[in-house]
C-alpha cells in the first residue's frame, strides 16, 4: 500500500512569489491535514480537509490556503511568500477525521524562500 506522497520534495522560491504544494493521501483515506515545521516552532497545524471541505484551520494568515479534490488529493498554496515561510511542510492523511485515527505523514516538502 503506497504511503502519503508529497511533491515536490524541495522547492526554492523568491520573496513575493507564490507556491503550490501537493499531497496524495493513502488510498482510501479521506482526511488530509497540513503542518508547518520550523526549528523554532516545531510542528504547527495549518488546516485539515475532509471530503473536500475544510474542517479546521490553524492560526496562519490568509496567504496560506488549501483545497481538496474529489479523489482526496490536496494542494496547499502560499501567496506573496516571505522569508519566514521557509520551512518543511508536512501533509498527513487519516482514514476518517483526525479525531478517530492516527495520522500518517508524508516525507514533506522543504520550501526555501530567498
**Nearest distance in Å: CB 15, other proteins:** 26
Strand order in the sheet with 19-24: 5-7, 19-24, 74-78, 64-68
Quick one: how far is CA 28 from the chain centroid? 18
**Nearest distance in Å: CB 23, other proteins:** 11
Subset of residues 55 to 94 that bind other proteins, contact rule: CB under 8 A? 56, 58, 90, 92
Out of 33, 68, 72, 74, point to the residue binding other proteins (CB under 8 A): 33
**Residue 111 touching other proteins (CB under 8 A):** no
At which residue does the C-alpha cell 488546516 appear? 47
CB of 42 or CB of 62, closer to other proteins? 42
DSSP 54-89: EEEE-S--TTEEEEE-TTS-EEEEE-S--GGG-EEE
Interface residue list for other proteins (CB under 8 A): 4, 33, 35, 41-45, 48, 56, 58, 90, 92, 98-99, 102-108
Amino acid at each position: 500500500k503506497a504511503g502519503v506522497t508529497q511533491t515536490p520534495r524541495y522547492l526554492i522560491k523568491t520573496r513575493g512569489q507564490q507556491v503550490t504544494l501537493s499531497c496524495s493521501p493513502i488510498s482510501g483515506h479521506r482526511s488530509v491535514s497540513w503542518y508547518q515545521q520550523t526549528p523554532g516552532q516545531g510542528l504547527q497545524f495549518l488546516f485539515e480537509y475532509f471530503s473536500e471541505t475544510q474542517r479546521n484551520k490553524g492560526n496562519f494568515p490568509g496567504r496560506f490556503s488549501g483545497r481538496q479534490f474529489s479523489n482526496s488529493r490536496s494542494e496547499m498554496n502560499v501567496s506573496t511568500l516571505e522569508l519566514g515561510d521557509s520551512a518543511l511542510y508536512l501533509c498527513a492523511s487519516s482514514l476518517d477525521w483526525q479525531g478517530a485515527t492516527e495520522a500518517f505523514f508524508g516525507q514533506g516538502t522543504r520550501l526555501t524562500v530567498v
